[in-house]
Structure 1
Amino acid sequence: MPAWLFALFAGAFVLYTDDYVIAGVLPEIAREFGVGEARAGQLVTVFSVTVALAAPVAGIALARVSRRLLFGAALLIFIGANLAAAVADSFTMLLILRVLAALAAAAATPALFAYAAERAPEGRTGRYVAVVALGVTGSLAAGVPIGTWIGGRFGWHATFLAMAIAGAAALVFLLGTLPYAERAGGVPGIAEQLRVLGSPPVSLGLAANCVLMTGSMMMLTYQASFFAAVSRADVDQRALAFALSGTAGLAGVWLGGLATDRWGPDRSLRVGIGSFVGTMVVLWVLGFFRPVPLFVIVAIGTVQGGIAFWNAPAIQARLYLLAGPVAGQALALNTSGTYLGVALGGAVGGLTLSWAGAEQLPIVAAVLGAGALVLLGVAARAAQTPVATRLRARSGARRPGR
């Protein structure tokens, strides 16, 4: 694999770490600025909401910008925002700087996936996308814990400084490895872009990803609550389950990429989402046999972690193959839907926890997963219609199942 692909991995790792790492130092930020932890938590919320809203706009507005220029400018803004955050003297200023960093992430992150898919050799789209997706999973497994440790050891200012340094390293890596030559091919007009993005094969796939993310992130967010409700696992044992789940997520991303290349995105998604639904049903049934032995919970939690990330390469590759020259914009919308799914997962999970109890979380997640499977089935059938075929031909999109 080329060096630039690992530079894309580094970019994804840094940008996604910056989103989540603040959660680990929120108490220290709240104390220094004299605000409640709930208000300090808006630093996380405003970043996610900004990315969700700005990514589609940036995808369309910056479609004709050179990728080297886009990545370079976005990372320079990201570095500057984090350096300023390290010396911010008010909570309001810190909030503004988080919005600035999020705008940089919104412009760059979908383009990282699109660039990898565009330059992947025949039959290796899934693997190339999986390498970038490993940066996302790795940010959760390693980036956030490291950033939190830095904040605990040297203060929260050091966490922002570390993110700026990491951003600078990613910038040097990207500019040092990305080819100067851009792939030939024009960008369709705004009307044509919107026509492709609104077509059922693309739009229903985007909706399916949002629904699936709602279910999977709901379970990941409230996994500790579920484990506590159905087993006697203590905090250390639950931490072990989380660690194994995160490790399985890294394996799941890569295996999902291999499956996408071997089977095609649609079949890979059917297997991945079907496995997710099956796992959720098993967890729900186990809730009737409380307390569940720890080794059972750890084993199933590990499988769940792998499955949760299996689908990422297939979703990205599917959109790229369907949207063609509008792939960057489609992936930007997918980024928006992913962040929306994370937010909805927290809300739906919270309501389920309050009204029905933690043991009912898996069945709600299973219903959401089944809904995503139905949406993808309809999207796959829509992709075979004559209207969809003509639309792809007019826009220059690649044929699905390449």
Structure 2
Amino acid sequence: MRSAALPGWLYVLFLTLLATATDEFIIAGVLPVVADDLEVSVSAAGQLVTAFAVVYAVAAPTLSALIERFPKRTVMVTGLVLFVLANVAAAVAPDYWFLMAARIGAALCAAVVAAAVFATAAAGAPEGAQGRYLGVVTAGMTAALFSGVPLGSWLGGTFGWRATFWLIAGVGAFAVVGLLVTVPAVPGGEPAPLRERMAPLRNRAVLRLVAVTFLAASGGLMFYTYLGAYAAEVAGGSYGLLSFLVFLVGITGLAGALFSGRAADAWGPQRSLRCVLAGHAVALALATGLVFSGIGSRVALAAVIACWAIFAWALTPPVQGSILAAAGPASGMTALSLNISGLYLGTGVAGAAGGVVIGTYGAAYVPLAAAVLMTLSFLLAPSASVQEAVEVDVADEGGAVGHRKGTLPGDGAETRRPIPAAE
């Protein structure tokens, strides 16, 4: 049976995540230029990247819980407009602290927008296609990871570092128009006390999946962060080889994100999640074996890297689908934002832990350390079906909050609200 064509609004959500996620990475390629222009050290300029990631990770679940009750399109449009304004402010920043404030503002907006995008994609997906829809929007974040730094480097070298923020503002403004014109109106959650809206923070099933994401991100992105050092250990370092490997990771990573979405629909999110984690651990084990084998083949290196990238960027669709099932529709946006926090915190740990491994043992041991973290993530991933595993562990003063054990959206115990077309 041929798959139905994807709606245009889904690609607008892809573009939205591409803009917000690129904003984190794009300045990394021009840090020396920023430091020189604003008369600060390169390490101080680097804090502009760190601040964005930390604020994003901390703010995502808190802000999402506060605005869960508002319509998702309203949240996305408002958040993206403010995101555009924050990037305009960054582009005209007269000094370092003004730029830092603009970066923090952009991170706050991006955190809210990203959670609303995932919630909208999941809610707007037809029956049996949620994973596919989540895979498409996830590809926006994946593309940002590979396009941000090289694009920022090129723009900074050609037009100056401020051009990077003008570009993000322009893409964001274009996405705002697309959101207004094409995206369906997804209603917000029912008004509820803050304690109830923060239920995912006390939901053991959700927290377990967030921990899975954290460990997987720590391992997978540790290997990616030090890919150049690893490649040099295997086959000798060169700029051309590293550029090719980054391109290869981008292509295969996008394919992995899209394929895993379809797999989540076909096999269920939890089964596909465990397959992704197992494949990722095996790929890292292969990378470990290659570096210690002494083969030194660039073809073998490319094959192992491609295999690893497919699984590395296949994580988000199945884990997001599992989290939505565990949290339920009433607090899905908050739960998704909590998972995004786990992803960003794992990214931060990846760089620091990888640096310790290299400093202590050398780059050859990075894939081994990453494989250990990935194995822990696999062991932590729930093996039972979602229907058997979900039990919301929270209650308000009047009684239980959330789904009954074994009760999920679409299983007959509750009715899924139809998503109207764009107004």
Alignment root-mean-square deviation, CA: 2.1
Match of 2:409 in 1: 398
1:244 equivalent to 2:268? Answer no
How many angstroms does 1:196 deviate by? Answer: 4.3
For 1:204, which of 200, 204, 208 is the aligned residue?
A: 208
Contact residue 205 and residue 376 of structure 1 kept, 8 A? yes
Match of 2:421 in 1: none
What SS does the aligned partner of 1:132 have? helix
What SS does the aligned partner of 2:378 have? helix
CA distance in 1: counterparts of 2:168 and 2:390, whole angstroms: 49
Q: Mark the CA change 1:99 to 1:184 in structure 2 (over 3 Å): closer, same or farther.
A: closer
For 1:189, which of 190, 193, 200 is the aligned residue?
A: 193
Give 1:125-204 correspondences, 5 Å limit.
Answer: 125-179=130-184, 181-183=185-187, 186=190, 188-204=192-208
Contact residue 132 and residue 258 of structure 2 kept, 8 A? yes
Structure 1 unmatched ranges of 5 or more = none
Match of 1:106 in 2: 111
Match of 1:45 in 2: 50
CA distance in 2: counterparts of 1:383 and 1:215, whole angstroms: 29
Contact residue 326 and residue 392 of structure 2 kept, 8 A? no
CA distance in 1: counterparts of 2:267 and 2:341, whole angstroms: 27
CA distance in 1: counterparts of 2:200 and 2:32, whole angstroms: 45
For 1:25, which of 18, 21, 30 is the aligned residue?
A: 30
Q: What is the aligned residue count?
A: 399
1:320 equivalent to 2:324? Answer yes
CA distance in 2: counterparts of 1:335 and 1:387, whole angstroms: 22
1:293 equivalent to 2:297? Answer yes
CA distance in 2: counterparts of 1:318 and 1:399, whole angstroms: 14
The one-letter code of the counterpart of 2:364 is E
What SS does the aligned partner of 1:89 have? coil
For 2:71, which of 63, 66, 74 is the aligned residue?
A: 66
The one-letter code of the counterpart of 2:61 is P
CA distance in 1: counterparts of 2:376 and 2:223, whole angstroms: 16
Q: Could you report, residue by residue, the CA deviation over 1:362-386 in whole angstroms, capped at 9, with x for unpaired residues?
A: 11111111111111136x4786258
How many angstroms does 1:254 deviate by? Answer: 0.4
Give 1:254-269 correspondences, 5 Å limit.
Answer: 254-269=258-273
For 2:287, which of 283, 287, 296 is the aligned residue?
A: 283
How many angstroms does 1:204 deviate by? Answer: 0.5
How many angstroms does 1:42 deviate by? Answer: 0.5
For 2:82, which of 54, 77, 80 is the aligned residue?
A: 77
Q: Mark the CA change 1:173 to 1:144 in structure 2 (over 3 Å): closer, same or farther.
A: farther
How many angstroms does 1:393 deviate by? Answer: 2.7
TM-score w.r.t. length of structure 2: 0.89
CA distance in 1: counterparts of 2:46 and 2:76, whole angstroms: 28
1:230 equivalent to 2:230? Answer no
How many angstroms does 1:287 deviate by? Answer: 2.2
The one-letter code of the counterpart of 1:393 is H
1:329 equivalent to 2:334? Answer yes
How many angstroms does 1:230 deviate by? Answer: 2.4
1:221 equivalent to 2:216? Answer no
The one-letter code of the counterpart of 1:72 is V
How many angstroms does 1:185 deviate by? Answer: 5.5
1:367 equivalent to 2:377? Answer no
CA distance in 2: counterparts of 1:183 and 1:334, whole angstroms: 22
Contact residue 196 and residue 401 of structure 2 kept, 8 A? no
For 2:257, which of 237, 253, 264 is the aligned residue?
A: 253
The one-letter code of the counterpart of 2:403 is A
What SS does the aligned partner of 2:127 have? coil
How many angstroms does 1:186 deviate by? Answer: 2.1
CA distance in 2: counterparts of 1:373 and 1:336, whole angstroms: 19
Structure 2 unmatched ranges of 5 or more = 1-5, 394-399, 417-423
CA distance in 2: counterparts of 1:289 and 1:194, whole angstroms: 50
Contact residue 321 and residue 399 of structure 1 kept, 8 A? no
Contact residue 210 and residue 340 of structure 1 kept, 8 A? yes
Contact residue 211 and residue 372 of structure 1 kept, 8 A? yes
TM-score w.r.t. length of structure 1: 0.94
CA distance in 1: counterparts of 2:284 and 2:389, whole angstroms: 33
Contact residue 319 and residue 331 of structure 1 kept, 8 A? yes
Q: Could you report, residue by residue, the CA deviation over 1:282-341 in whole angstroms, capped at 9, with x for unpaired residues?
A: 111222222521111111111111111011110111111221121100001011111100
How many angstroms does 1:28 deviate by? Answer: 0.8
Q: Mark the CA change 1:386 to 1:282 in structure 2 (over 3 Å): closer, same or farther.
A: closer
How many angstroms does 1:72 deviate by? Answer: 1.6
What SS does the aligned partner of 2:381 have? helix
The one-letter code of the counterpart of 1:360 is Y
The one-letter code of the counterpart of 1:213 is A
Contact residue 21 and residue 147 of structure 1 kept, 8 A? yes
How many angstroms does 1:184 deviate by? Answer: 7.4
The one-letter code of the counterpart of 1:3 is G
